[in-house]
Amino acid sequence: MYTPQPGKPCDCPISFQKFIKIYLNALTKKCASNSDSKLQRTFPNVAYSVLHIRGGDKKTNSLEFNTKLVLMQMPKGRKIVIITDDNAYAKHIISEYRQDTQNNNSLDFSELSAMPPSPAKHEAFFRDFHTLMLADEIIQHSPAGWSAISNVVSMIQTIPFLNTWQSHTRTHDKYMGLMSGIQTQEKCPIESFSSNRPDQVAIFIKNMNRHDNPNKYD
């Protein structure tokens, strides 16, 4: 086992990319071995986007989000896998999209049930993490531009990521400083986008299918 030494630069015997491939292989086997069929998932060799709807303790009025407008701009027939911790809230968000009279792009939704109570909760987390790791894009419906599972995956895999929360008050500036001026501030992850800026939504949508997740078909 490799043990980093304090005060010394990392000299890991394998590359980060190699580590991710090894991790994904192990994760794939773990998800496929779940005895509960609801926690199993197979991935077709087609591009798909993940819509991560964060509810529960972070559930916020849907009017504070641009999620419906973003979905209406997605390519027609696009495959969308929904992960959530709140089934009722997720169904409400998707219902708003489907009932809009101006919507005509007919997205192909695939819904994963919210994490069940323990002891299966950690198995569902691995399933959702796996789903995110193999996505081509991530759309995040979460306040303050953050929910750890999808933000972290985006940074690990450099997967294009769009947060749909709108900042309405100055009290949110400390959270939205990164997202509102995305790609213009020093050290901002280039793969991150905010729906607060229409130009960012346009770039995110335009680049769909151009991003190649290097680990998807291994």
pLDDT, mean of each 10-residue run, the chain (218 residues): 53 67 73 60 74 84 88 90 90 90 81 64 79 92 86 87 75 48 51 79 81 54
Strand partners, 174: none
- CA-to-CA separations, 104 to 51, 72, 124, 195, in angstroms, rounded: 19, 8, 32, 20
pLDDT at 9: 57
pLDDT at 113: 66
Pairing of strands 192-194, 137-141: unpaired
pLDDT at 56: 75
Domain ranges of the chain: 16-206
pLDDT at 42: 58
pLDDT at 118: 55
Q: Which two tokens stand for residue 188?
A: 């901002």
Place of tokens 């992960």: 83
CATH of 16-206, one of 3.30.43, 3.30.420, 3.40.50, 3.30.1360: 3.40.50
- CA-to-CA separations, 80 to 15, 66, 129, 130, 135, in angstroms, rounded: 31, 17, 15, 15, 10
pLDDT at 213: 61
* Ranges assigned E (strand) in the chain: 49-53, 79-84, 108-111, 137-141, 161-163, 192-194
pLDDT at 157: 85
Taking the whole predicted model, whether its pTM rises above 0.85 is answered as no
Dmax (CA) of the chain: 60
